[in-house]
Structure formats: structure tokens, C-alpha cells
Amino acid sequence: MTTPDCLFCKIITGDIPSRKVDEDDTSYSFLDIAPFHRGHTLVVPKRHVESFLSDPPAWAEITGAVDRVSRLLQTKLGADGMNLFSSAGAVAGQEVFHLHVHLVPRYAETGGLRNLFGPKPGAEDAELDDVWQQITAS
């Protein structure tokens, strides 16, 4: 079940456009519009769940998609590594209160984890389109 005022629920229902990377019965994955690095993707449950703390079974429902999309990003984008994280609550930095897992492909030139959380400028549409086409190409 989706919630009408939730940004991610609106993306799942198609009311807000997204660059879909993967979808199954319980999850929807799409490119982050302000990526930390090339290919930064969000994996969300289709049903509205605030966080992994508010509904632990929801985490289990999306682990298959997290694994599948991680491998897809590594294969299609040539990522050397991957960061996976999810925030629960405003104090932890959660901005959209719908459970979401960030998959951030890492490349040799991007440095370690300390280099991840600097300024996060929005990506240009052309760059998002390019990486989306690369990920979703057959």
C-alpha cells in the first residue's frame, strides 16, 4: 500500500517520473537524482514503510533486489566496490520517510568512505540519462 503524500510512493505509482533500474513484486529501484557517485541507486519497498526500524520484515523483502541491483551496477558500470546504507530517522539523516537503501558504486578514483559525504550537487539530466541507459541496456 502506498501513501499519497510520500515522494517515493509517488515515484512507485508513476505520478513522479524516475529512471527505473529494477522492479519486482515487492521493490522498485531507481537512480538518485542527486547522486554521490555515478550510478547511485535507491532500492525501496513498494509498500509504504517508514524505515527498517519501523518494520523489520520490510528489510528482508528488499534484500533480493539489493543484491540483484548491486551486481547489476558492478557489472554494467565497472564499479570497483559498493557502499550500501540506509538511514532511520531524521537524526540519522533520513530525508524521505519511506525505507530506502542507497547503493553507491565506488571507483578507484573516488577514494574511500570519507570522500562520500561531501557536498552532494544535483546531477545533470544528460548524465543521469547516460548512466541509466548504460545500466538498463540489454
Confidence of residue 1 (pLDDT cuts 50, 70, 90): confident
Report d(CA 37, CA 26) in Å as an integer.
26
CATH architecture of residue range(s) 7-111+120-136: 2-Layer Sandwich (3.30)
Tell me, what's the pLDDT at 138? Answer: 82
Grid cell, residue 122, equals: 544535483
> Where does the pLDDT of residue 17 fall: very low under 50, low under 70, confident under 90, or very high at 90 and above?
very high
pTM of the model: 0.85
135 contacts 42 by C-beta, under 8 angstroms: no
CB 135 within 8 A of CB 77: yes
The domains of the chain are located at 7-111+120-136
Q: Is 14 helix (H, G, I), strand (E, B) or coil?
A: coil
Question: For 1-5, what is the mean pLDDT?
Answer: 81
Q: Please say if the pLDDT value at position 115 is more than 80.
A: no
Q: Is residue 54 scored above 70 in pLDDT?
A: yes
Stretch 97-114: mean pLDDT:
85
Report, as an integer, the average pLDDT of 94-105. Answer: 95
What's the longest Cα–Cα distance across the chain? 41
Q: Is residue 100 flagged as an active site residue?
A: yes
What is the model's pLDDT at position 35? 92
